[in-house]
DNA sequence: TACCAGGGCCTTT
DNA sequence: AAAGGCCATGGT
């Protein structure tokens, strides 16, 4: 588990091998964190901006009050979860154990469901540099300015009132109509994203896939990264390769409840 | 069933 | 420098 303390308006996390911010912020689950020249990272989450840095086992959240940390960042960074305990469970599987020992400290973030849904619609049939570009243009054009370079993610209501023409600056291609459909269904409360995490994973999948442009892969990402479903297991081409090569008979039962978290390590291993 | 639809990054040639 | 592969979903 991760201990923390407050000092000089910063939060200091003593995270042993349970938190590697570079791997966590740049492993394909979030697209708006950028590394600064001093190796710290900056990002906008909701209407907040954060600078975060790491020095060995100490992670520093800069200029964050105790209240803001407890109320928001603690959950965002999944600090309530004991990753050492998870690593113990994962060590039952040789492949996973090797991946964990190589890439200690990847954490699954608890992100905003609307931003996650929209981001993973954009991610489909796409590569990471371009995904980041489209999302950046989306925020710059339609989000609120939060600081010098950082914008909030535009709300579903805001996007729902736009047309495909309005979104041409994004250069999102055929995904534009999917973004609009998602925004309209969310803004009208036809899909209530805040209630998805209370559904069974089967019903949650069905609900999300009512959106045009959301299939099994995108819905699984939304469930894992923003709806507290650690058992969600997104299968992209890389993970299909992992399964074919290492798990022809399926993922071990003991891993399944945390399959999505395990997946982050396996995915990273396969891509490197 | 198989293919195509935006587009741009990446690897190979 | 040019060509070809890659990519998740819906539609034909």
Is pTM beyond 0.75 here?
yes
Tell me which nucleotides of strand B come within 7 A of a protein CB.
5-10
pLDDT > 90 in chain A, percent: 92
State pLDDT tens for residues A236-252: 888 888 998 899 899 99
Q: E strands within A155-219?
A: none
Question: Which pLDDT tens digit goes with each residue over A38-55?
Answer: 999 999 999 999 999 999
Angle between helices A216-226 and A113-123 (to 10 degrees): 150
**What's chain A's length in residues?**
272
- CA A133 to C1' C8, in angstroms, rounded, equals 19
> Own/partner pairs for A136-141, CB < 8 Å, 24+ apart?
A136/A32, A137/A169, A137/A170, A137/A171, A138/A170, A139/A32, A139/A44, A141/A169, A141/A170
Task: State, as a whole number of angstroms, the distance between the CA of A217 and the C1' of C9.
Answer: 9
Residue A271 above 90 pLDDT?
no
Q: What is the DSSP string of A28-74?
A: SS-S--EE-TTS-EEEEETTEEEEEEEETTEEEEET--HHHIIIIIH
What pLDDT digit, counting tens, does each position of A166-221 carry?
999 999 999 999 999 999 999 999 999 999 999 999 999 999 999 999 999 999 99
**3-state SS class at A120:** helix
A272 strand B contact, CB < 7 Å: no
Determine if strand B comes within 7 Å of the CB of A171: yes
- Cα separation, A85 vs A101, in Å, equals 14
Using an 8 Å Cβ cutoff, are A13 and A69 in contact? no
Residues within 7 Å (Cβ) of strand C: A 123-127, 174, 178, 209, 211-219, 236-238
Displacement of CA A67 from its chain's centroid (Å): 23
């Amino acid at each position: 588990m991760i201990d923390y303390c407050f000092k000089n308006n910063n939060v200091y996390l003593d995270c042993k091998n349970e938190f590697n911010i570079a791997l966590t912020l740049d492993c394909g689950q979030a697209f708006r964190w950028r590394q600064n020249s001093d190796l710290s990272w900056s990002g906008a989450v909701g209407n907040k901006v954060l600078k975060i840095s790491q020095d060995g086992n100490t992670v520093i959240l800069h200029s964050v009050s105790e209240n803001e940390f407890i109320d928001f960042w603690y959950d965002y960074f999944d600090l309530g979860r004991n990753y050492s305990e998870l690593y113990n469970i994962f060590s039952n599987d040789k492949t996973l154990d090797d991946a964990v020992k190589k890439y200690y400290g990847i954490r699954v973030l608890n992100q905003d469901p609307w931003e996650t849904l929209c981001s993973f619609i954009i991610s489909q049939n796409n590569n990471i540099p371009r995904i980041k570009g489209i999302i950046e243009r989306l925020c710059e054009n339609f989000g609120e300015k939060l600081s010098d370079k950082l914008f909030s993610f535009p709300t579903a209501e805001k996007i729902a009132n736009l047309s495909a023409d309005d979104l041409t600056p994004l250069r999102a291609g055929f995904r534009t109509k999917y973004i609009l459909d998602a925004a309209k269904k969310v803004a009208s409360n036809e899909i209530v994203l805040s209630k998805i995490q209370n559904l069974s994973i089967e019903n949650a999948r069905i609900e999300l896939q009512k959106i045009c442009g959301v299939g099994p892969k995108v819905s699984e990402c939304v469930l894992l990264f923003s709806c507290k479903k650690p058992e969600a297991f997104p299968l992209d081409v890389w993970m299909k390769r992992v399964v074919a090569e290492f798990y022809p008979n399926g993922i071990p039962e003991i891993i399944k409840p945390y399959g999505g978290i395990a997946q982050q390590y396996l995915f990273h291993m396969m891509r490197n």
